[in-house]
Chain A
Amino acid sequence: MTLDLEIRLRRANPEPARAFGVDEELLRRVLAEPRERPTATQRIRRRPLLLLAAAVILVAGTAASVSQFAVQYFGADDSEPTPAAIVAELRRLSQGFEVDAERYVRLASFDSEAGRTTIYIAPATKGARYCVASATGSTVDGGSCSVDTVPEMKVPYGNFHSSSYGDVFPIYGRVPDGVASIEVRFEDGAAHKVSVRAPWWIYVVGGDETAAGHRPVALEARGPDGALLATQHLNKFSFSSRAAALAAIPESDGSPGQEAVRNALVAILPIGAEIGPKVRLDETRLVRTVHTSRGSFDVYAAPWGNGGLCFGYDDHRLAFEHTTTGCPYGEPSPDQPSTFSAHTIEVYADRSGFAVLDGTPPRAAAAVRVRFQDGTSAGADIFTRSFFGFWFDGKRLSPAHRPTELVALDADGSSIDTFSLDPPRLMP
Chain B
Amino acid sequence: MQVNVTPASPLRESRTFTADERRFEVLYRSHFASVTAYARRRFPARADDVVAETFLIAWRRLEQVPEDALPWLYGVARRVVADLLRSTRRQAAVAERLVEAGLTETAAPELPDGQLRRALAALSEEDRELILLVYWEDLEPARAAGALGCSRPAALTRLWRIRRRLRAELMSSSND
Tell me which residues from 153 to 167 in chain B have a Cβ below 8 Å from any Cβ of chain A: 153, 156-157, 159-160, 163, 166-167
B163 touches A341 (CB 8 A): no
> Which residue in chain A gives the minimum CB-CB distance to B105?
A95
Give Cα A91–Cα B104 distance, bound, in whole angstroms. Answer: 12
A41 touches B79 (CB 8 A): yes
Residue A2, interface by CB 8 Å: yes
Residue-by-residue, is B105-126 near A (CB-CB < 8 Å gives 1, otherwise 0)? 1001111110111000110110
Residue A54, interface by CB 8 Å: no
Residues in A with CB closer than 8 Å to B113 are 8, 11-12
Residue B82, interface by CB 8 Å: yes
Give Cα A36–Cα B62 distance, bound, in whole angstroms. Answer: 9
Residue-by-residue, is B43-62 near A (CB-CB < 8 Å gives 1, otherwise 0)? 01000000110011101101
Residues in A with CB closer than 8 Å to B40 are 14-15
Residue A144, interface by CB 8 Å: yes
B86 touches A20 (CB 8 A): no
Residue A411, interface by CB 8 Å: no
B124 touches A144 (CB 8 A): yes
> Which residue in chain A gives the minimum CB-CB distance to B35?
A20
Residue B102, interface by CB 8 Å: yes
Q: Which of A15, A33, A97, A335 has the most CB of B within 10 A?
A: A15
A20 touches B121 (CB 8 A): no
Residue A10, interface by CB 8 Å: yes
Residue-by-residue, is A32-71 near B (CB-CB < 8 Å gives 1, otherwise 0)? 0101110101000000000000000000000000000000
Q: Which of A5, A95, A341 has the most CB of B within 10 A?
A: A95
Residue A93, interface by CB 8 Å: yes
B159 touches A96 (CB 8 A): no
Binding site secondary structure of chain A: loop
A344 touches B171 (CB 8 A): yes
A323 touches B116 (CB 8 A): no
Residues in B with CB closer than 8 Å to A144 are 124
Give Cα A70–Cα B79 distance, bound, in whole angstroms. Answer: 35
A9 touches B11 (CB 8 A): no
Known: A22-B28, A344-B171. A92 touches B135 (CB 8 A): no
Complex partner residue of A6 from B82, B89, B135, CB under 8 angstroms? B135
Residues in A with CB closer than 8 Å to B99 are 96-97
> Which residue in chain B gives the minimum CB-CB distance to A324?
B160
B60 touches A36 (CB 8 A): yes
Complex partner residue of A13 from B32, B55, B135, CB under 8 angstroms? B135
A27 touches B103 (CB 8 A): no
Give Cα A122–Cα B175 distance, bound, in whole angstroms. Answer: 35
Least CB distance from A242 to B in Å reads: 14
A14 touches B60 (CB 8 A): no
A13 touches B170 (CB 8 A): no
Complex partner residue of B167 from A145, A321, A344, CB under 8 angstroms? A344
Residues in B with CB closer than 8 Å to A36 are 60
Complex partner residue of A2 from B36, B131, B141, B170, CB under 8 angstroms? B170
Tell me which residues from 322 to 371 in chain A have a Cβ below 8 Å from any Cβ of chain B: 322-326, 335, 341, 343-344, 346
Q: Which of A14, A321, A323 has the most CB of B within 10 A?
A: A14
Residues in B with CB closer than 8 Å to A24 are 10
B59 touches A267 (CB 8 A): no
Give Cα A284–Cα B108 distance, bound, in whole angstroms. Answer: 44
Known: A22-B28, A31-B24. A17 touches B37 (CB 8 A): yes
Complex partner residue of A14 from B25, B44, B140, B141, CB under 8 angstroms? B44
B79 touches A20 (CB 8 A): no
Query: B residues touching A (Cβ–Cβ < 8 Å)?
Result: 10-11, 20-21, 24-25, 28-29, 32-33, 36-37, 40-41, 44, 51-52, 55-57, 59-60, 62, 79, 82-83, 86, 89, 98-99, 102-105, 108-113, 115-117, 121-122, 124-125, 131-132, 135-136, 138, 140-142, 153, 156-157, 159-160, 163, 166-167, 170-171, 174
Q: List 12 A-B contacts (CB under 8 A).
A: A2-B170, A8-B170, A12-B111, A18-B37, A20-B32, A31-B11, A33-B56, A93-B125, A96-B121, A267-B153, A321-B140, A324-B160
Query: A residues touching B (Cβ–Cβ < 8 Å)?
Result: 2, 5-6, 8-15, 17-20, 22-24, 26-31, 33, 35-37, 39, 41, 91-93, 95-98, 144-145, 147, 267-268, 319, 321-326, 335, 341, 343-344, 346
Q: 10 extra interchain contacts, Cβ-Cβ under 8 A, other than A31-B25, A35-B59, A35-B60? A: A12-B108, A13-B41, A14-B44, A14-B111, A27-B55, A33-B59, A37-B60, A92-B105, A321-B156, A326-B160
